[in-house]
Amino acid sequence: MITQRRSALKKLSLSVMSLVGLGAVSRATTVFKPAAEKEVNGIVYDDQEVPMFSSSTKLGNMVFISGQGAHYQGDIKAHTETVLKALETELVKAGSSMDKVLKVNVYLNDIADFDGMNAVYKGRFGKKPPVRTTVAVAKGGVPGNSLVEIDCIAYIS
């Protein structure tokens, strides 16, 4: 499983490098060309004809899950539990799972909630957790009054 993660992360890194023109072979001619058409799972609200954003996007064997939040009154542990369950639901719908997650971004409304979020987060991605970035958002907080929002990138095998 670690070999699959490394291989998927390496492919993702190479794709990103070629996107920003850092390809080692030929900077001038490197163009990102996905092997397949992207597949999206859009969110449409009543007043829209087209989705505002996608809850997930698949490209090849990669899946990108948009930020999940908890939009109700509660503490950081309850919000983190809700968000992680929503993330897992999206991953399963896309054909992946929590143990195939490569990268996680955590956005906290308040950095004081870091320990509470970690208490619920710990162990949710298996024994070999993904890389993670955690930040506290600035003025205005996490959208929708959630105490935490989490997004991720995973592979599909």
pLDDT at 27 > cutoff 60? no
State the pTM of this model: 0.72
What's the pLDDT band for 144 if we cut at 50, 70, 90?
Answer: confident
pLDDT on residue 147? 97
What's the pLDDT band for 51 if we cut at 50, 70, 90?
Answer: low
Domain extents in the chain? 35-155
Domain 35-155 of CATH type 3.30.2350.10: no
Average pLDDT, the chain: 81
Residue 154 tokens, joined = 């995973």
The continuous run of DSSP H or E covering 7 comes out as helix 2-19
pLDDT on residue 55? 86
Which pLDDT tens digit goes with each residue over 74-86?
999 999 999 999 9
- More confident of the two residues 43 and 22: 43
pLDDT on residue 23? 41
54-79: burial string, b at 16+ Cβ within 10 Å, e else: bbbbbbbbbbbbbbbbbeeeeebbeb
pLDDT at 48 > cutoff 70? no
- DSSP code at position 31: -
Residue 70 tokens, joined = 């908890």
Cβ of 156: how many Cβ atoms within 10 Å? 15
C-alpha–C-alpha distance, residues 26 and 49, integer Å: 41
Which pLDDT tens digit goes with each residue over 4-19?
655 655 565 555 444 4
